Structure 1
């Protein structure tokens, strides 16, 4: 699509937007749904010919998105949101935007002739591969392949530490939902501290725990530029109860390994488009809930509160706790099957109202910092997981 020298492209990994028109300094686009439905928050596109122009990118169908229950008192994902722009796909800054009458308008600064605009900074598969390579350069970490996705990509597992009598089995997962790229930065920060030979806590956890990390649960969806679904049109975080290996092979592969190894702790990292805070979900509504799991979750949250200024236990699961856990979701299903402390972590796309950053909001750097802080919370409960 072009007019003169101004062009918009999505022909690269993770790219997603449907061009509509170019008129003067205004580009009009529509969000692309993953499949039949309304999973379509994510956008990531390149504009060429931008030098010297103050561009406006208008998303015409922003209001078509559905919202989760219990969010009536919370601003929607577009209100107050500022997307990211980059001239080199390494350094990202926020840009101005506004939302009115169902239309989201991005005001793209002319930082270079070619700019990339994204809902959140991408975490591409080459960065995933670099993270894997850095991790396995440490002798305590080994790379395994859980299997191959429908599009032929490896489902990577990092195995850290060694099994032994009484060693808790700790699982960390990220990016069931491709658009929630902060989960990639979170795992990157967690691994960096865990495998830092100068970090005493990292060394202690590697010695004391048997750790399994699946950094990218949905590599096909990530490469395709999907918002939530995998290549077969499945929301993987709704596939953990009665898992179908045809529609959710990634979940089936992970569950097979979990059942072979055991699970004493699991953390599943996500992002939330609307809420201005970091929050946790715990195994508090599962059918087999217990005071033991309730105490562990509370102690974990208190430890994270001490180690991360952006988190507070006063910021609860939105809309209040449901009466009955949805066992299609990973953290609930894993807690129920393995009688273990299993936690949902949600990070904001916007910013936190605690320890806020007016310039960058919740940035990749802050996601990585939270990953590093998470070791303190794991350490607080590791001796009591069983």
Structure 2
């Protein structure tokens, strides 16, 4: 009888162990139905999930952002298919995926340890059933992010918001004004998110605005000479819908300037430039994700429109470099080209043609280069450095040289 009981207990133990093994197989559900969400689930095999970015009718590009919730905890590997894009833009950046465990309020980079990231794949370990995490190729920046920024500065008399226009989907496009119009004030226009997925530039632009509206010596000096207008979301619908935004059909927002414009927000920006007599314009972008040359801050735009534009950008870049704190990406470098008909349809090409233009350029802020600090606060500090550098750049003197 003792042997029979022992044998029975062994069978029970084996069955229990098998059940535990089966239960250990992870199972997660994937969701991207929230602002900025973007993913296509190709196959969900439990411990391995094949996913790819949703392209929304545009070119092959790298932006993705989704929420994963564990029904059964465990280690899950997310695999992305090989890149098709010209520059092999990749799917995971140099500091790994961005991760949020509080529904998208706070983000950190997971890192690029080989135990986490291998090429176009990464793993995440869910510790308990019901655990939910948001994962993204970059730190997202959507409408609620800007609203949080606006709330933090709602009591600042130098910060005003209004509505520039409404999108085809009925969303409001914000217009920020920092400083007051006065006879000595030069109108400056800063724009962001012509390409919806380029989120890091938005945090950089926040830093510019924070310094410009502040009571720091730089902020006070800036408002004495300038009034700043900012359009934080040019492609507002794309930002909220989680679109790539780059290379849209028939063309994207940053190829839409001129008499054949098809996007209402671009049309409103061109009208704003005329109405406010904008004499200086910077458009804020991010470059590709992993392409080696794009791991630095750099300027693009026309060298020959206006005639002094190249000199103005080089001096601004030099001044920014001297202001950037430790941990920032390298640069800014200056990679500009002569104007052609295609370039005139860009934001920088359009504003370079305006009368009395002091400077018209695009600044590219990389996503997350190796050996840099790319937290949200750090990126804002790099934007503040740009505003301080702007103050000490004598654009009028460069123009008349």
TM-score, L = length of structure 1 = 0.84
Shift of 1:227: 1.0
Matched, 1:86 2:100: yes
| 8 Å CA contact retained: 1:221, 1:229 | no
Alignment CA distance shift 1:93-1:4 (3 Å): closer
Matched, 1:64 2:80: no
Aligned to 1:70: none
| 8 Å CA contact retained: 2:49, 2:77 | yes
Alignment CA distance shift 1:329-1:42 (3 Å): same
Please identify, of 247-256 and 232-241, the stretch whose mean Cα deviation from structure 2 is larger. 232-241
| 8 Å CA contact retained: 1:221, 1:231 | no
Aligned to 1:260: 275
Please identify, of 149-158 and 200-209, the stretch whose mean Cα deviation from structure 2 is larger. 200-209
Matched, 1:143 2:143: no
Aligned to 1:220: 237
Q: CA offsets, 1:26-64, max 9 Å, x none?
A: 1111221121x324321001111177422111112x412
Q: CA offsets, 1:153-205, max 9 Å, x none?
A: 111111121222232111111111111111221122222222223x1211221
Aligned to 1:366: 378
| 8 Å CA contact retained: 1:238, 1:328 | yes
What secondary structure does 2:365 align onto? strand
| 8 Å CA contact retained: 1:38, 1:66 | no
Alignment CA distance shift 1:13-1:230 (3 Å): farther
Aligned to 2:22: none
**How many aligned residue pairs are there?**
357
Matched, 1:284 2:306: no
Q: CA offsets, 1:289-322, max 9 Å, x none?
A: 41x33332221111111101546558442xx746
Please identify, of 273-282 and 48-57, the stretch whose mean Cα deviation from structure 2 is larger. 48-57
| 8 Å CA contact retained: 1:156, 1:216 | yes
Aligned to 1:72: none
Aligned to 1:130: 148
Q: CA offsets, 1:343-379, max 9 Å, x none?
A: 2111112316xxx33xxx5343332111111112210
Matched, 1:38 2:55: no
Matched, 1:203 2:224: no
Alignment CA distance shift 1:304-1:137 (3 Å): same
- Give the Cα–Cα distance (whole angstroms) in 2 for the partners of residues 106 and 322 of structure 1: 41
Shift of 1:231: 9.5
Aligned to 2:178: 160
Shift of 1:342: 1.1
Aligned to 2:16: none
Shift of 1:124: 2.0
What secondary structure does 2:240 align onto? helix
**How do 1:13-52 and structure 2 match up within 5 A?**
13-35=35-57, 37-49=58-70, 52=73
| 8 Å CA contact retained: 1:218, 1:230 | no
| 8 Å CA contact retained: 2:31, 2:68 | yes
Please identify, of 254-263 and 86-95, the stretch whose mean Cα deviation from structure 2 is larger. 86-95
Aligned-residue RMSD, C-alpha: 2.7
- Give the Cα–Cα distance (whole angstroms) in 1 for the partners of residues 247 and 180 of structure 2: 32
